Structure 1
């Protein structure tokens, strides 16, 4: 299903999506993030600082509450995810591909029912990148594309005064059908312009991981290289690289006690971070990744070696957030290239 939507009609399209909470990029205190639509929608944004992964995988979620009254069996009350349908406008292709990877992690081997319950209620309306939205984009190096539809339900392409709107999934078709009268049929000239815009988008210069097909083997051969400590010397372990990543998914589960008479509390899942020293700390006091170099190696190898071995694709989608937001300038593209070069 392919249509043309004039830009002045996009707010009307969103208004027609009854039953959906619609989110779009908003600039707040210098940070672009997805927020519920409260006015005119802006799709002239660079990539958002935060990816949309938190809609299906929130930073903190309660699984169940518990209460232990003396002399009685423990009382457990499951806390189920909400069932609100959310349509997210302006999702860049790298984040759509991030959703594909998250879906694999939380659905391939063991289905995470909490993730799946949220994910089935999220629709992504993507926006093709006619120009790289960041100087640190490198999606082409990891098998992506600025016009990829992977993980998206709809893809918008900016044609100047209008969008070329292509449904990718049945959910995407339903979103478009809800406002069918607002769309026009694409003319041959529209399709020709779309082809030209996409061709130009693919030709835009980007950062590049050198010889990406060789990277997994080179990383494996470099596991014990002292270069990791040198490359990680500036790291302060803040973890922003993983918290802003569209595919990082490590978590911890804890019981949070909220009362003692009677004993009660919640079992909570929160994001965790492989760049934190305590992430791999054993109760014995042993830590198999005791240095910043070992932790940087884990992040890089997970993206470019372990995940490809397990899922047949890089975990990294080339969004460049970890480069742009690192307070000490650690650059994952540069790190990978240096390790591969050092491996010979």
Structure 2
């Protein structure tokens, strides 16, 4: 199995503060993730003045302000994103930002990112998908709120317009996602129906779901994180803190190793225990040369470096060629 790509989703958890954003870069690097991801948008290009907030946003921010006003406070300037990209390069961590409007696609294309990360909300945005596809870069596409037909339609648009490689992330767009709605088995459905590589973008509380997703075959994991869940902002409550991010990365790397190659055979680490844990055919009592081996004078005991008990009936009825003392390994 190839190494799982772990994306630490900073999103807008910097609260529009470049200093906090850079602290998040440091945290992500220390945790050992592959990429840190932000969100790039021009608020006026993303939402109309009439757009309401989601319920979870109303619960975690000023309920009297509009979604547009909220996003204005959470956005970073182009110069700040350039600074962030440069800082990621200095620190040695991959930089990714998701564009939420056509203007931001043009800006981020200049950043020469390794791939595009398309959010769930844009999966039915045809002009957006076509513009992304026109850059010819690899795409990782989240599929929250989608059914298989919508996923297949988006994949077709991307492929028909030049995308060379697509990874599909199963996702539930509720913050936080109730565990009964996670439905990790949908990853298998997406993989089977689209013949694409799959991963998982997680919005649950905690780190169990993404770890389980890796065990089920996810090759990309995306997880929101924050410096402090108690900070003001829409996504902090559904994010994990630095220690949890570190624990998640460690667990995923362990699971990667644990999945293995699927071949059932003794491993190098356990081979030395084989003779200790298994049994051999031994003398149950004193046996004289010429005696006939029977269920009365032989038995099975550790260690397993003698005749295997699987040859029990090959030994029964044979004649002892020498004397044996109790517990001695039988030879024939």
TM-score category, normalised to shorter length: under 0.3
**TM-score, normalising length: structure 2:** 0.24
| Higher relative contact order structure (alpha carbons within 8 Å, sequence separation ≥ 6) | 1
Greater helix percent: which structure? Answer: 2
**TM-score, normalising length: structure 1:** 0.23
Greater strand percent: which structure? Answer: 1
